Structure 1
Amino acid sequence: MDNKNKCFSPDCNNKSETEFCPECLANGGFKPNVNPQLENNFRYHSPKEGQPERYQLIRDKVKELAYLIDGNCPNSREKSLAITNLEQAMMWANASIARNE
């Protein structure tokens, strides 16, 4: 039984033990439709030294602002959107650290 995989290079039917067959590797073969940014954005990023403390610092400051908004703005759609956007800002700030270090 042949357990080798098909090569990822377009128009190649060779079998390979890795992602690409030797011929395609020699010719700069590539895995089709791979976007390095998407690969990075949609993978798990285990915390590195010092990152959890920075995540918490950002969460604490955003929470402080959320309480300020909650205590000073009338209940409304606008207030809800402000809080939602704070949550988004916190998430994106922490994602910036996780994805780019």
Structure 2
Amino acid sequence: MVLKIGDYVNPIIENSYSYHPPKGDQTARYEAIRYKAKELAHMIDELCPNSREKSVAQTNLEQTVMWANKSIACNE
């Protein structure tokens, strides 16, 4: 279903809010990104003192993985 106002449909919005099933080697690339991020997450967990800043770093790393994987899904 495409929701629109008048005759205009923004293709960027349609792409951002659509399901993009993995194709080709995308799944392997998603996993590679998650693997490297997990290595960094463990390093941050080990080396940084428990703090708000550490929590923010971990949250931002999760967001980095999400956006990197979305860049693959939405732009190929």
- Shared fold per TM-score greater than 0.5: yes
Q: Alpha carbon RMSD of aligned pairs, Å?
A: 1.5
Structure 1 unaligned spans of 5+:
1-7, 11-30
- Structure with the higher fraction of residues in helix conformation: 2
Q: Which string of whole-angstrom CA distances, capped at 9 and with x for unpartnered residues, describes residues 56-89 of structure 1? A: 0000000000000000000000000000000000
Q: 1:54 maps to which residue? A: 29
Pairs within 5 Å for 1:9-88: 10=6, 31-32=7-8, 34-88=9-63
Following superposition, which runs of at least 4 residues in structure 1 exceed 4 angstroms of deviation?
Answer: none
List gaps (5 residues or longer) in structure 2.
none
Label 1:66 to 1:9 Cα distance change in 2 as closer, same or farther (>3 A).
closer
**Counterpart amino acid of residue 46 in structure 1:** P
Instruction: For 1:52 and 1:95, locate their aligned partners in 2 and report how far apart those are by CA, in whole Å.
Output: 12
Deviation of 1:9 (Å):
8.6
User: How many correspondences in the alignment?
Assistant: 73
CA deviations over 1:18-55 (Å, ceiling 9, x no partner): xxxxxxxxxxxxx23x2110100000000011000000
Q: Could you tell me the TM-score, scaled by structure 1's length?
A: 0.69
TM-score where L is the length of structure 2? 0.90
Larger RCO: 1 or 2 (CA < 8 Å, sep 6+): 2
* Greater Cα radius of gyration, structure 1 or 2: 1
Match of 1:75, SS state, is coil
